């Protein structure tokens, strides 16, 4: 019984120690701090009234419209600049971009020599010989190898001249070297 009595006395002292009689100074201090420190935000500065400005650069290119391509008109001769033949009739394979073609293989024929077989995304198969026109950029087949075909394309330079660039179509699964 003495054990229970001692335990109940100890519990009573613990409960007395947790009473609110010792928190009054802490409550008073927090109320004082809250009263003294009132956060204040300075008011935002007033924004000036904006005025509309009229565009006076009518002699300059409008930046919100696409730039015109300065390619010369067909038949117009620009001296000192390489030019493709824009007056020739377009071939059927010039209506598709080169990214829509897949090289299927190459073969040797008696009539045309080395030819390439190209498949389109639509599943059509075409036979292409040297000098055939292909692609959207006036491309012409310039080389046929067992692993790839080389196409020379004409690209407008923007100053009335044209530049040629080489593009290779490779067999799927073959890796090419960078010295082509």
Phi then psi for 137, rounded to 5 degrees?
A: -105, 40
Residue 139 is predicted with a pLDDT of: 92
Q: What is the pLDDT of residues 19-69, one digit of tens each?
A: 555 678 888 888 888 888 767 788 889 999 989 888 777 787 777 877 665
Q: What is the pLDDT of residues 141-175, one digit of tens each?
A: 999 998 899 999 998 877 778 889 999 999 887 76
User: How far are the Cα atoms of 24, 26, 30, 43, 143 from residue 36, in angstroms, in the given order?
Assistant: 19, 16, 10, 21, 87
Percent of the chain whose pLDDT exceeds 90? 24
Q: What are the beta bridge partners of residue 169? A: 149
Q: Quick one: pLDDT band at residue 178, thresholds 50, 70, 90?
A: very low
How large is the average pLDDT for residues 76-103?
83
Structure tokens at 158: 């923007």
pTM across the whole model: 0.54
Structure tokens at 104: 């299927």
Q: Following DSSP, what letter does each residue of 28-69 receive, concatenated?
A: HHHHHHHHH-----PPPPPPPPP-------TTS--TTSPPPP
């Amino acid at each position: 019984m003495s054990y229970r009595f001692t335990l109940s006395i100890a519990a009573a002292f613990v409960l007395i120690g947790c009473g609110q009689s010792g928190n009054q100074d802490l409550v008073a201090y927090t109320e004082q701090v809250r009263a003294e420190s009132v956060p204040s935000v300075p008011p935002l500065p007033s924004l000036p009234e904006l005025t509309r400005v009229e565009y006076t650069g009518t002699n300059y290119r409008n930046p919100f419209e696409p730039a015109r391509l300065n390619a010369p008109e067909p038949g117009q001769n620009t001296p000192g600049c390489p030019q493709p033949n824009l007056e020739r009739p377009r071939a059927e394979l010039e209506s598709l971009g080169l990214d829509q073609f897949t090289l299927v293989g190459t073969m040797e024929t008696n009539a045309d020599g080395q030819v390439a077989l190209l498949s389109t995304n639509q599943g059509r198969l075409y036979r292409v010989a040297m000098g055939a026109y292909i692609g959207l950029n006036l491309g012409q087949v310039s080389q046929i190898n067992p692993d790839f075909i080389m196409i020379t394309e004409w690209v407008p330079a923007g100053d009335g001249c044209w530049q040629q660039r080489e593009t290779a179509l490779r067999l799927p699964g073959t890796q090419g070297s960078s010295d082509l």
